[in-house]
Structure 1
Amino acid sequence: MEGQDFEHPLQDNPEENIENDNTRAYVTDHGPVSAHSENESEDLGSEILDEIRSSESVVDFKEVNSFEDFNILVNGLVISSELSKRLQIKYYELCCSQKRFLHDHLVECLNCKLDVGMIAETINIADAIKVSTVTTLQDSFKKWEKTLKAFQGLGMNVGFLLARLEQQKNL
């Protein structure tokens, strides 16, 4: 396996594509990946949105008095149900520590699954920073910093985590 690169994008090679009834399978180094037909994609999209509901009212963080009042609203959709209760509570605590929704200014054209992933990874990084010590590898700090800066570029309010990370790196 030496010298083999596992991070290849999908190969869109006509000889390797399998086409049947508007369904396409792409072959990667890791095996075939199916791209569903339009009708199948619509069905999958509705399954994903079953748990995500629309919200017509935008709540200011000042109006959130407890976890029960806390909903994660992104681009008009309440996506709280996409996170486990444990992650919802941890995210609520992070937002409370900053007295604001950390996701308030996310880029509007993002996919809700990406939004959920950024929130979950922000929680993971916050937890990792919290338990980091002088023996934590510098590579970990660099990876967390790079990820947080990318999230910040997409509108996530993570400046406080970057500042804390910088403090930890300098210990």
Structure 2
Amino acid sequence: MDLEREPKIEPIACDSENDSEEVGSEVMDGIRLCDSVVDFEEVRSFDNFIILANGLIINSELSEYYQKKYYDLCCTQNSYLHDHLLEGFNCELVCGIISETINIAEAIRAAEVTTPLHSFETWNSTLKCFQGLGMKVGFLSARLAQLINLSLKPNRYRDVLFREAADAPW
């Protein structure tokens, strides 16, 4: 086992009074233990946004880009989306689920009617798996369902036109 790659885990206080100082500097140095759970309602800004998994602060395992995007997604739902993930997942898995959720959310946001249906199907099956693991992604699944319906409408219209053209007497 490569000991240089193992994160240093040191206990720190993570109550809301010292969040802005801790998150801004020390948390970025590695995974840290957290003494208390911070409810999302206590998060006032990105500066005191702490991502916990199994009592560990894992912000440093995600790039700032993913932290900000995750913060934005959590704000839309007024809760940590990963709060109900099954217990015992390692930090890398939790970070992977969060990262992929953000990737899918970004893809959904950028999707157009011409986006291939297999992309929608892949995103949908991934979101279903994440939901089964406890990730709060129902709002993304609902938006994806709307996109799928919109993307299928032109195909239905085209199919009707083709059938009418095939049935035409000329």
Q: Same fold (TM over 0.5)?
A: yes
The secondary structure found in structure 2 opposite 1:109 is coil
Partner of 2:134: 155
- CA distance change for structure 1 residues 138 and 69 in 2, over 3 Å: closer, same or farther? same
Q: Give unpaired runs (5+ residues) of structure 2.
A: 10-28, 151-170
CA distance in 1, matches of 2:83, 2:68: 17
Residue identity matched to 1:157: K
Q: Deviations over 1:32-51 (max 9, x none)?
A: xxxxxxxx26x267347571
- Normalising to structure 2: TM-score of the pair? 0.73
Do the aligned partners of 2:7 and 2:31 also contact (CA within 8 Å) in 1?
A: no
Q: Give unpaired runs (5+ residues) of structure 1.
A: 1-39
> Superposition pairs for residues 22-101 of structure 1, below 5 Å?
40=1, 43=3, 46-47=6-7, 51-101=30-80
Identical-residue share of aligned pairs (%): 57
CA distance in 1, matches of 2:6, 2:60: 15
Partner of 1:128: 107
Q: Which runs of 4+ in 1 moved over 6 A?
A: none
CA distance in 2, matches of 1:93, 1:85: 12
Q: Deviations over 1:5-51 (max 9, x none)?
A: xxxxxxxxxxxxxxxxxxxxxxxxxxxxxxxxxxx26x267347571
Task: Considering Cα pairs closer than 8 Å and 6+ residues apart, tell me whether 1 or 2 has the greater RCO.
Answer: 2
Do the aligned partners of 2:35 and 2:55 also contact (CA within 8 Å) in 1?
A: yes
Larger radius of gyration: 2
The secondary structure found in structure 2 opposite 1:108 is coil
Name the structure where helix makes up a greater proportion of residues. Answer: 2
Q: How many residues are matched?
A: 131
Q: Give 2:93's match in structure 1, choosing from 114, 117, 121.
A: 114
Name the structure where strand makes up a greater proportion of residues. Answer: 1
State the superposition RMSD in angstroms. 1.5
